[in-house]
Structure 1
Amino acid sequence: MTLRALLAASFTITVWASLALLTDRVSHLPPVLASGIALMVGGTVGAWQRQAWQAPRATYVLGVAGLLGYHALLFAAFGLAPAVEANLLQYLWPLLIVILSPVFMSGYRLRLPHIAGAVLGFSGAALIIGADGISPNAHYVSGYLCAIAAAVIWAIYSLGCRRLPPFPTSAIAACCLIAGALAVIWHTAQHGVQSLALERSDWGLLVLLGLGPMGVAFLTWDIALKHGDPRSIGALAYLTPLLSTLLLMLFNDRAMTPHSFMAMCTIFAGAALGNMDVIRGLWHRRGRVHTLPSSN
Structure 2
Amino acid sequence: MINTRTATFIGFIAILLWALLALLTVATAPTPPLLLNAICFAVGGTLGLIWARVTGRLHHLRTVNWRIYLFGTLGLFGYHALYFTALRLAPPAQAGLIAYLWPLLIVLMSGLLPGERLRLGHILGGGLGFLGAALLITDGSGLNADHAMGYLLAIACALTWSGYSVLSRRLGAAPTESVAVFCLATALLSALLHLALEETVWPVGAWGWGAVIGLGLGPVGLAFYVWDIGIKKGDIQLLGVASYAAPLLSTLILVIAGVATPSVNLAVAALLITGGAGLAARASFAMKSKADPLA
TM-score (norm 1): 0.76
Aligned residues: 280
Structure 2: tracts of 5 or more residues without a match: 51-57
Cα deviation for residue 229 of structure 1 reads 2.1
Identity among equivalent pairs (%)? 40
The answer to whether structure 1 residue 231 and structure 2 residue 237 are counterparts is yes
Indicate if the aligned counterparts of 1:37 and 1:206 stay in contact, CA closer than 8 A. yes
Q: 1:111 aligns with which of 112, 119, 132?
A: 119
Structure 1: tracts of 5 or more residues without a match: 290-296
Indicate if the aligned counterparts of 2:125 and 2:241 stay in contact, CA closer than 8 A. no
Q: 2:223 aligns with which of 217, 225, 236?
A: 217
The answer to whether structure 1 residue 199 and structure 2 residue 204 are counterparts is yes
Cα deviation for residue 63 of structure 1 reads 1.0
Report the counterpart of residue 23 of structure 1 in structure 2: 25
1:123–1:198 Cα change, 3 Å: closer
Q: 1:93 aligns with which of 91, 94, 102?
A: 102
1:118–1:17 Cα change, 3 Å: closer
1:262–1:165 Cα change, 3 Å: closer
CA distance in 2, matches of 1:216, 1:18: 12
1:154–1:27 Cα change, 3 Å: farther
1:27–1:62 Cα change, 3 Å: farther
Indicate if the aligned counterparts of 2:22 and 2:250 stay in contact, CA closer than 8 A. yes
1:22–1:260 Cα change, 3 Å: same
The Cα offsets for residues 155-192 of structure 1, whole Å up to 9 and x where unpaired, read as: 2111111112622211101110001110111110223x
RMSD: 3.7
Report the counterpart of residue 47 of structure 2 in structure 1: 45
Cα deviation for residue 209 of structure 1 reads 0.6
Report the counterpart of residue 177 of structure 1 in structure 2: 184
Report the counterpart of residue 292 of structure 1 in structure 2: none
Indicate if the aligned counterparts of 1:70 and 1:154 stay in contact, CA closer than 8 A. yes
Of the structure 1 ranges 140-149 and 64-73, higher mean CA displacement relative to structure 2 is found in 140-149
CA distance in 2, matches of 1:66, 1:216: 16
SS in 1 for 2:173: coil
| Counterpart AA for 2:256 | L
Indicate if the aligned counterparts of 2:176 and 2:229 stay in contact, CA closer than 8 A. yes
The Cα offsets for residues 45-67 of structure 1, whole Å up to 9 and x where unpaired, read as: 12363433541122112211111
CA distance in 2, matches of 1:174, 1:110: 33
CA distance in 1, matches of 2:281, 2:143: 29
Report the counterpart of residue 10 of structure 2 in structure 1: 8
Cα deviation for residue 35 of structure 1 reads 1.6
SS in 2 for 1:195: coil
CA distance in 2, matches of 1:236, 1:43: 26
Indicate if the aligned counterparts of 2:132 and 2:270 stay in contact, CA closer than 8 A. yes
Indicate if the aligned counterparts of 1:19 and 1:244 stay in contact, CA closer than 8 A. yes
Indicate if the aligned counterparts of 2:28 and 2:209 stay in contact, CA closer than 8 A. no
Cα deviation for residue 40 of structure 1 reads 1.4
Report the counterpart of residue 67 of structure 1 in structure 2: 76
Of the structure 1 ranges 213-222 and 66-75, higher mean CA displacement relative to structure 2 is found in 66-75
CA distance in 1, matches of 2:63, 2:127: 42
Q: 2:167 aligns with which of 156, 160, 164?
A: 160
CA distance in 2, matches of 1:221, 1:75: 21
CA distance in 2, matches of 1:4, 1:124: 27
TM-score (norm 2): 0.76
Of the structure 1 ranges 225-234 and 74-83, higher mean CA displacement relative to structure 2 is found in 74-83
1:274–1:3 Cα change, 3 Å: closer
Cα deviation for residue 153 of structure 1 reads 2.3
